[in-house]
Each structure stands twice: as structure tokens, then as C-alpha cells.
């Protein structure tokens, strides 16, 4: 089974760089916290099931998306 969440780093030019997958939204958010220690910046969590996304900003705040 393909994990339902993709994790992307948002580059300065706006392009997305895939950083991994997660089985749950909570795991995706935890992985981003770990990634931010070595690659600070904004991240996107994308749901393959619903096509919705969340923006996790460098300060840790989360913004809902569509």
C-alpha cells in the first residue's frame, strides 16, 4: 500500500522537493519537525486520498490548504 501522505520542502523559488511519505498526518508532522532541524523552511503535507494539502511554515505554524 502506498502511504497516503507526501511530504515536500518548499524551495525559495517555490518549487517542491519531495522529502518522503507518511502513514498518518501526525507522523508527517513529526517527520517535518525532524527535517526542519537540518533543512529549515516551509513544508507541504499532501493527502493522496483527498488532494488537500497543509502548509507547515518554518516557524511551525500550520495553514490549511485545498
Tens of pLDDT along 7-51? 999 999 999 999 999 999 999 999 999 999 999 999 999 999 999
CA distance 21 to 53: 13
Q: Who wins on pLDDT, 36 or 64?
A: 36
Residues found in the chain: 66
pTM: 0.91
Separation CA 13–CA 1 (nearest Å): 32
Beta-carbon count within 10 A of 10 CB? 17
Q: How far apart are CA 50 and CA 54, in angstroms?
A: 12
pLDDT value at residue 1: 66
Residue 7, helix vs strand vs coil: strand
pLDDT over 60 (residue 66): no
For 39, the domain range is 5-64
For the chain, what is the domain count?
A: 1
pLDDT interval class at 59 (50, 70, 90): very high
Amino acid at each position: 500500500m502506498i502511504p497516503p501522505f507526501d511530504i515536500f520542502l518548499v524551495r525559495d523559488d517555490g518549487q517542491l522537493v519531495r522529502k518522503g511519505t507518511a502513514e498518518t498526518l501526525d507522523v508527517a508532522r513529526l517527520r517535518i519537525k525532524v527535517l526542519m532541524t537540518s533543512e529549515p523552511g516551509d513544508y507541504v503535507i499532501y493527502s493522496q486520498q483527498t488532494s488537500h494539502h497543509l502548509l507547515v511554515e518554518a516557524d511551525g505554524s500550520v495553514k490549511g490548504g485545498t
